[in-house]
A and B are shown apart, each in its own frame.
Chain A
């Protein structure tokens, strides 16, 4: 390796081309940047347009005689297609609205179904509780009957107590008369 710089002819070409391009463009700028050029361009454009206009008109006239469709006819047909596209688009947007309303309605229905499910669940729960309560009620009735029985038994016991008390009184009475007799016997 000598480290010597190699020659690249295209770099210089590019630099020169940049200079040339700038000079030519600056020249064109100076040459065209005036009122006269603008007016001349306008005249040229106008002549060109008039010529083309006339040419097209002749072409239309000829095509009309030969019963041939021209680009204008095709344009009209294309316009109809675009109109149809726009109508379909409008319909599609209306379908969107419908879809949206159906969606929101189905959401409402879903929420109603949810509420109904809750109600059914609650009713079932109440039903079970009712059965339970009924059972409890019959149980309590049995209890009541038993209690009544017990009360009756207690009443019976009370009567027995009273009888017992009477018996106790009679025994006491017998005991005192016996004591009296005994004491009378002793005094004799």
Chain B
């Protein structure tokens, strides 16, 4: 005579099909090669040192003014073309924009003396000139993401080239507010912490240290991404997205030494961007010189760049047409999901001379 356990109803059953799917996905993730990224068709326009200017032709050109994307120096820009149907660049080309992207490349030891001023004056300026000539356009729209937004704003403040619109997203402008421990910021600003010698010795900031810096500011211990993956591994789409995101997150680049020193000393310590004291060549990069139409986007769940860091640009520029919006997103979410393309299009479509 069979006897039933009294605990049978208390212990829930396992969904074996779901568990099989979960572990087959985990196995695939461990054994399959890395996912392919950057699938939108493109061609090389110009190359200098390690930097490359890419052109992504519009599927069906609808606007005269092309978009010029400037990404951060901290990571690789393929987050903007991470996956088909979730790619910012693919979205923009489908909407009828000619898109240009400046890939800064991976700096080597020989690039340790490249500062932000050099990046702007010798790389970005030339790339913009090339893009204007290549597209045969009379004006251009600059789109900067994260630190790329800071660089784009600095350039727009000293540019002789015809910049019609400036779009910046999750951009640090005011380096006063800081998301990390306040005593660290205090120590950096009053000289208790000095990284000059460290940068001199290393030349460039190694990618591991750049990653470590971001971890230290946000979450020094971080493993929930793996438990999250395990709990949702039965969902194919999530696993695919996770793999792409993970590939990008760990694919850090070294940061050119001089540029890092300027970021730490001129921007973080002395806040020269807000004061308009940063020099590019023999010109002062004062944001009040910006007269282009301005569009600023912040993420409400951005824990790296606070709204308070982006918003001050609205009062610093001389633009008459300026818009500020906050979207429901994190720091990279806008780029990762591809929703940034829609956000840009909504604002830029009427300002890009529709054909």
A residues whose Cβ falls under 8 Å from a Cβ of B: 4-8, 10-11, 13-14, 17-18, 21, 24-25, 28-29, 32-35, 37-39, 41-42, 45-46, 48-50, 52-53, 56, 71, 74-75, 78-79, 82, 85-86, 89, 93, 96
**Is residue B109 within 8 Å, beta carbon to beta carbon, of the partner chain?**
yes
Shortest Cβ distance from A74 into chain B, in angstroms?
Answer: 7
- The interface-forming segment of B155-163, B226-234, B304-312, B330-338 is B226-234
Known A-B contacts: A37-B183, A52-B201, A93-B129. Give 15 more (CB < 8 A): A4-B12, A7-B15, A14-B224, A14-B228, A17-B223, A28-B221, A33-B182, A35-B192, A38-B183, A38-B187, A39-B192, A39-B193, A42-B187, A45-B198, A56-B201
**Is residue B194 within 8 Å, beta carbon to beta carbon, of the partner chain?**
yes
**Is residue B6 within 8 Å, beta carbon to beta carbon, of the partner chain?**
no
B193 touches A41 (CB 8 A): yes
**Is residue B122 within 8 Å, beta carbon to beta carbon, of the partner chain?**
yes
- Chain B 4-34 per-residue mask, 1 if CB under 8 angstroms from chain A, else 0: 0000000111110010001000000000000
Residue in contact with B197 in the complex, picked from A35, A49, A71, CB distance below 8 Å: A49
Which residue of chain B has its CB nearest to the CB of A32?
B181
**Is residue B328 within 8 Å, beta carbon to beta carbon, of the partner chain?**
no
Q: How far is the CA of A86 from the CA of B267 in the complex (A)?
A: 28
List B177-228 residues whose CB lies under 8 Å from chain A. 181-184, 186-187, 192-195, 197-198, 200-202, 219-224, 227-228
Residue in contact with B224 in the complex, picked from A21, A46, A78, CB distance below 8 Å: A21
Complex interface: chain A residues within 8 A of B192 (CB): 35, 38-39, 42
Q: How far is the CA of A39 from the CA of B188 in the complex (A)?
A: 10
Which residue of chain A has its CB nearest to the CB of B109?
A71
Complex interface: chain B residues within 8 A of A37 (CB): 183
Complex interface: chain B residues within 8 A of A41 (CB): 193
B182 touches A5 (CB 8 A): no
How many of chain B's residues touch chain A, expressed as a range?
35 or more
Complex interface: chain A residues within 8 A of B233 (CB): 10
Q: How far is the CA of A21 from the CA of B220 in the complex (A)?
A: 9
Complex interface: chain A residues within 8 A of B187 (CB): 35, 38-39, 42
B227 touches A13 (CB 8 A): yes
Residue in contact with B198 in the complex, picked from A49, A74, A96, CB distance below 8 Å: A49
Complex interface: chain A residues within 8 A of B109 (CB): 71, 74-75
Give 8 closest A-B pairs by Cβ, nearest first: A38-B187, A78-B110, A7-B12, A33-B181, A10-B231, A6-B15, A17-B227, A75-B110
**Is residue B126 within 8 Å, beta carbon to beta carbon, of the partner chain?**
yes
A78 touches B108 (CB 8 A): yes
Complex interface: chain B residues within 8 A of A78 (CB): 108, 110
A21 touches B223 (CB 8 A): yes
Q: How far is the CA of A78 from the CA of B113 in the complex (A)?
A: 12
B183 touches A85 (CB 8 A): no
Which residue of chain B has its CB nearest to the CB of A18?
B224
Complex interface: chain A residues within 8 A of B15 (CB): 6-8
Shortest Cβ distance from A12 into chain B, in angstroms?
Answer: 9
**Is residue B133 within 8 Å, beta carbon to beta carbon, of the partner chain?**
yes
Which residue of chain A has its CB nearest to the CB of B15?
A6
Shortest Cβ distance from B228 into chain A, in angstroms?
Answer: 6
Complex interface: chain B residues within 8 A of A35 (CB): 183, 186-187, 192
5 interchain pairs (CB within 8 A)?
A: A42-B193, A49-B197, A50-B197, A52-B202, A85-B49
**Is residue B275 within 8 Å, beta carbon to beta carbon, of the partner chain?**
no
Complex interface: chain A residues within 8 A of B288 (CB): none
Most buried by B among A10, A29, A71, A85: A10
A4 touches B219 (CB 8 A): no
Q: How far is the CA of A35 from the CA of B191 in the complex (A)?
A: 11
Shortest Cβ distance from B158 into chain A, in angstroms?
Answer: 18
A6 touches B183 (CB 8 A): no
Residue in contact with B11 in the complex, picked from A7, A11, A71, CB distance below 8 Å: A7
B231 touches A21 (CB 8 A): no
A49 touches B201 (CB 8 A): yes
Shortest Cβ distance from A91 into chain B, in angstroms?
Answer: 13
Shortest Cβ distance from B135 into chain A, in angstroms?
Answer: 14
Complex interface: chain B residues within 8 A of A6 (CB): 12-15, 18
Complex interface: chain B residues within 8 A of A32 (CB): 181, 184
